[in-house]
Amino acid sequence: MSNRLKDKAALVLGVAPGNIGEAIARRYVEQGARVLVAGRRPEALTAVADTLGVPWLACDITSQADVEALVAHSVERLGGLDVGVNATGWGLLKPFLEHSQEDLDKMNAVQFTGPFQFFQALLRHMPKGGSIIQVSSVTASIMFDNHAAYMGTKAGIDHVIRCIAHEFGHQGIRANSIAPGGVADAPMSGGGLMHPGIAALYHREIPLGRSGAASEVADAALWLASDESSFVTGQVIHVSGGQTLRRNPSLAEVYAAVTGAAGTR
């Protein structure tokens, strides 16, 4: 089925070459949407925008002025706004007791305050309703070592999404999160799932027995943006092959897979 997003305007924030944001923007373009892509690095955005044939605007999600200008510009450039996606993130890995005040402030700005203000801006420019989508993480539900600030802020903004669904449903707003896990070709995984030993660890914990792809996350984002999900709101849609039924490998197991040492489950 093609043109599932015909006549819809979509803003995707957090786009860079090869990441989940790009995969979502690509799928939206393929399905007939008018799309504007945004992110922190102009050179990366230019590469994606040129490939997809869409406009772009640089935006630092930690700047409220940037976020508000981005949404206003998108409405003007696209002739309205039906879909807003936040695909930003910062994958800090650090032991709990080593998190500094600077780390916490930055993580909060990137993964909680920034998205919160982005959603506020979207809501002010979507008076006739629309779909708001937050790209979360499987780790907002299941544990991963040395990842507390990342996981906590992802879980917190997921609950904010539920609040939006609750408070703005009456004006036709649908708000949902997508929680990817085990995605081999996304930069957030650091390419680790391309390593046979690490991939084997994850495949053991994923009921479907394989890694995922950014395009599969984009398929979920397409469904949430389309009218096919018109009665779905306030949900976290997991795109992880069922990994939340099991667990993440420990860092000890991951290191052992790389070094060949004996791991501990």
Contact 123, 81 (CB under 8 A): no
Residue positions counted in the chain: 265
β-bridge partners, 39: 58
In angstroms, the CA 225 to CA 164 distance is: 16
In angstroms, the CA 161 to CA 250 distance is: 29
Would residue 28 show up in a list of annotated catalytic residues for this protein? Answer: no
Structure tokens at 165: 């669904």
Which residues are CB-neighbours of 161 under 8 A, at least 6 positions away?
A: 119, 132, 134, 175, 176, 177, 234, 236
Structure tokens at 38: 């945004």
**Which one is catalytic: 28, 150, 202, 255?**
150
Written as one string, the DSSP assignment of 155-216 is HHHHHHHHHHHHHHGGGTEEEEEEEE-SBTTSGGGTTGGGSHHHHHHHHHHSTT-S-B-HHH
Structure tokens at 57: 């605007």
Count how many Cα atoms sit within 13 Å of the Cα of residue 188 in the half-sphere of its side chain: 26
Handedness of CA 162, 66, 140, 225 (dihedral sign): positive
**Residues tagged active-site:** 150
